[in-house]
């Protein structure tokens, strides 16, 4: 069993509004899935780690960035039904402490990874049970309070491990 935070926005989306194409939360809910946004020509299940890093070449990553992206894809691919996923927008350590961070919900009962290259959005997906917080735009929490409850100074990566205590603190706050 592991605890994770999963971002819902495309990379390089800073400053965009909820309603633009960068925000994928409505699609998570619509399709009953969690997903990540790398579009590859081949399912990552069919690639070894070196091949996966090479498949990320169109993204223009430096070698270290390609390794990090491949690690993220592998971790996402290997999520299981015992894992718990906090679904939210990410934040950097140097953002304003009063910025609202939307917490959308949690995903549990994660099903087997699937690569849906016929999807109209992100291809790497898991079916999951999703509990929503707030309205379609999530439940906002001030960054400073989020950091305190989560116990982490940033959530910059697409999929990031978090502690059980941090996960429980945020979920308890969001349910009230």
Q: Tens digit of pLDDT per residue, the chain (176 long)?
A: 999 999 998 665 444 444 556 789 999 999 999 999 998 889 999 999 999 999 999 999 988 999 999 999 999 999 999 999 999 998 888 989 999 999 999 999 999 999 998 888 999 999 999 999 998 899 999 999 999 999 998 888 999 999 999 999 999 999 99
Nearest to 79 by CA among 25, 8, 2: 2
| Tally of structural domains, the chain | 1
pLDDT of residue 9: 81
CATH of the domain at 58: 3.10.590.10
Cα dist from 84 to 14, 56, 68, 143, 168, whole Å: 26, 27, 21, 21, 10
Strands 33-36 and 124-127: what pairing? Answer: antiparallel
d(CA 76, CA 136): 24
pLDDT of residue 21: 62
132 Cβ contact list (under 8 Å, min separation 6): 29, 104, 105
**Domain span including residue 99:** 3-174
65 Cβ contact list (under 8 Å, min separation 6): none
């Amino acid at each position: 069993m592991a605890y994770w935070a999963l971002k819902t926005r495309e990379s390089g989306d800073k400053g965009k509004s909820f309603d633009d194409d960068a925000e994928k939360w409505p699609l998570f809910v619509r399709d009953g899935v969690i997903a990540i946004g790398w579009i590859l020509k081949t399912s990552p299940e069919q690639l070894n780690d070196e091949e996966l890093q090479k498949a990320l070449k169109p993204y223009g990553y430096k070698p270290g960035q390609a390794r990090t992206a491949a690690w993220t894809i592998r971790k996402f691919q290997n999520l299981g039904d015992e894992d718990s996923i906090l679904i939210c927008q990410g934040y950097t350590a140097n953002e304003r402490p009063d910025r609202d961070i939307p917490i959308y919900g949690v995903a549990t009962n994660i099903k087997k990874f699937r690569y849906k290259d016929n999807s109209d959005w992100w291809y790497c997906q898991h079916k999951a049970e999703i509990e929503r917080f707030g309205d379609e735009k999530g439940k906002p929490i001030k960054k400073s309070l989020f950091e305190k409850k989560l116990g982490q100074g940033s959530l910059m990566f697409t999929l990031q491990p978090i502690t059980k205590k941090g996960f429980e603190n945020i979920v308890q706050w969001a349910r009230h």
